[in-house]
Amino acid sequence: MTGTPPRAARRRFVQGLAAGGALAAMGGWRAAMAHAHPPADELRGTEFHLEIGETPVNFTGASRMATTVNGRLPAPLLRWREGDTVTLHVSNRLREQTSIHWHGILLPSDMDGVPGMSFEGIAPGATFTYRFPVRQSGTYWYHSHSGFQEQTGLYGPIVIEPRGGEAAASDREYTVLLSDWTDEDPMRVFRKLMAMPDYYNRLQPSVETLVRAARAEGWGAALSERLMWERMRMSPADLADVSGATYTFLANGVTPAGNWTGLFRPGEKVRLRFVNGSAMTYFDLRIPGLKMTVVAADGQDVRPVEVDEFRIAVAETYDVIVEPAEDRAYTIYAQAMDRSGYARATLAPRPGMQAEVPPLDPVRLLGMRDMGMAHGAAHGMPRGQAAAQDMPGMADHAMPGHAAQGHAMQDHGGAADGMVPQAHPYPAERGVGNAMLPDAVSTRLDDPGVGLRNNGRRVLTYADLRSLREPADNRPPTREIELHLTGNMERYMWSFNGVKFSDARPIVLRLGERVRFVLVNDTMMTHPIHLHGLWSDLESPDGAFQVRKHTISLNPAQRLSYRVSADTRGKWAYHCHLLYHMEAGMFRAVVVE
């Protein structure tokens, strides 16, 4: 493993260049500063011409080639209108096959954009025309489904205007697309993970952290805990596979030092459409000094809920309304879940203003509740209560290379939804790609996840999300399909039910049926699961409809269920949206016939 870069170089790499990005590479400082304001590259209408090619970028002081649409990173914002039919001519100027998938958009399967599944892909020099009716409204996004092109820049936002107007009114709006950029060839990143899965993890336990734990808890307790993790061949620091050790985090294609800025007049209601277009990064987002009212999730209107902070999974979108009353700047602060860096933007009354950037929160490690350990559910107690009682007063452990981030703590506290954890039998289908099986799992819709529990802020959870409207098809399901999210971190194997995609049979649904999908996370990591072409109607703990989504995020040892109406024929992709997990095998085909 390579060492940590010198502090000055590390700061430049994490925060990026103020003039970094595709515009700086093409037009210098003046062009880069223009990009620090609301982007002009927005395309409206019903017919679009998109050209996929390569564009030089420079985010860190080193020039690299990005995969771009019309020379832009991120790709142009596409603004459609509900009820229209859109036509998109996509031309490939690369030397390899490419594609575009319209994430969360309901359309015919041959327009979905997954090579080898719904179409042949777009060959070099060719043009493919996508054409489909727009049957929904809200905030969505589009990205490549070919190799690692999504990691190298091929992603962009979509805003669909509702025919009847927005349910939550605002005076102005901005789309903020968060992403992660690496100067490395993504294939090289993948090979490193395959050879050494913790290559980019700077949080791994060490002799130094063992000594700190011993000082706080005594050698007996510290050694016992360390040996427990060793016996399980796992690490409490498995928060992210790829980190700020190689990533620079971007907001609308701009580094933290570049400071993308959206303007407002004090007293206005501002709608912020957040899209997580990352390859691998979960972000925890807040705007210090402002409350955020969440009004939509994954493009769907929800009952408004006021929060200080929310976690946005890879591929999720959230719309929030903020009301900045003061004549000052506010920082939009999105820190990576593993606290290895952050994306940053600004809301301000005038160009050039900026606000203080908060320090990164302490790193909090995984605990017993995340492991689904049996003793955490002792005596029939809800998991959060039991874990807190079993392992009280865990000491702070400062992690090497993260001194500026405060201390790392094991995250044993947090909410519990009152459900007794369920022992879960393994499904009949079982493969070799699984390193663990939790003793018990639970729904915990009100668990914000590791690093956000009991942090003193009002944090959004799935329990807060309630769709404004019930789905037109809200029948009870007639059958159930259970899938376990499985992984072997030591060998970097990711799969459903321990069976990687190349060895798995398709999931077959009958046209018109209503099916309950049950997902159980048997791994130490948090996963965003996306089903193409069909909505996922998340159920409450008592089995009632709660919220409609296109991407469902699961914490470790969590069991969630959602209903799916098989209302569109075709072959659909179903996968973890962590790009390297998908490439490693956490992928299935769903066939509606």
Tokens of 206: 């060490």
- Determine which of 106-120, 172-186, 198-212, 254-268 has the lowest per-residue pLDDT on average: 198-212
Tell me what the mean pLDDT of segment 324-345 comes to: 97
Interstrand relation of 138-143 and 101-103 (parallel, antiparallel or unpaired):
antiparallel
Q: What is the pLDDT of residue 367?
A: 80
**How far apart, in whole angstroms, are the C-alpha atoms of residue 173 and residue 157?**
14
Neighbour count for residue 71 (Cβ, 10 Å): 17
Short-list 532, 583, 586, CA closest to 554: 586
DSSP state of 418: S
- Rounded-to-integer distance, Cα 387 and Cα 411, Å: 10
User: Which tokens hold the place of 428?
Assistant: 């009949």
pLDDT score for 544: 95
Query: Is pLDDT of 550 > 50?
Result: yes
Q: Give the integer Cα–Cα distance in Å for 572 and 504.
A: 14
pLDDT tier at 384 (50, 70, 90 boundaries)?
very low
- Its pTM stands at 0.88
Looking at the DSSP assignment, which residues form a beta bridge with residue 73?
A: none
Q: What is the pLDDT of residues 301-311, one digit of tens each?
A: 999 999 999 99
**Among residues 318, 313, 311, 255, which one has the least CA distance to residue 279?**
313
Is the pLDDT at 189 greater than 80? The verdict is yes
Which band of pLDDT confidence, cut at 50, 70 and 90, is reported for residue 376?
A: very low
Average pLDDT, the chain: 86
Residue 432 banded pLDDT, cuts 50, 70, 90:
low
pLDDT top residue among 491 and 231: 491
User: What are the pLDDT digits (tens) for 147-160?
Assistant: 999 999 999 999 99
Sign of CA dihedral 536, 541, 543, 547: negative
DSSP 98: B
DSSP letter at 116 equals T
pLDDT grade for 441, boundaries at 50, 70 and 90: confident
pLDDT for residue 417: 46
176 vs 222, residue with greater confidence: 176
Nearest to 346 by CA among 404, 288, 297: 288
Q: Which residues lie closer than 8 Å to 420 by C-beta, 6 or more apart?
A: 377, 380, 381, 382, 442
pLDDT for 230-256, tens place per residue? 555 567 788 999 999 999 999 999 999
Which residues touch 535 (CB under 8 Å, ≥6 apart)?
A: 106, 471, 548, 549, 550, 564, 565
Residue 568 CA to residue 11 CA, distance in Å, equals 49
Calculate the CA 368 to chain-centre distance: 23
Tens digits of residue pLDDT in 50-105: 999 999 999 999 999 999 999 999 999 999 999 999 999 999 999 999 999 999 99
Q: How confident is the model at residue 489 (pLDDT cuts 50, 70, 90)?
A: confident
What percentage of the chain's residues is helix, strand, coil (to nearest 5)?
A: 15, 35, 50
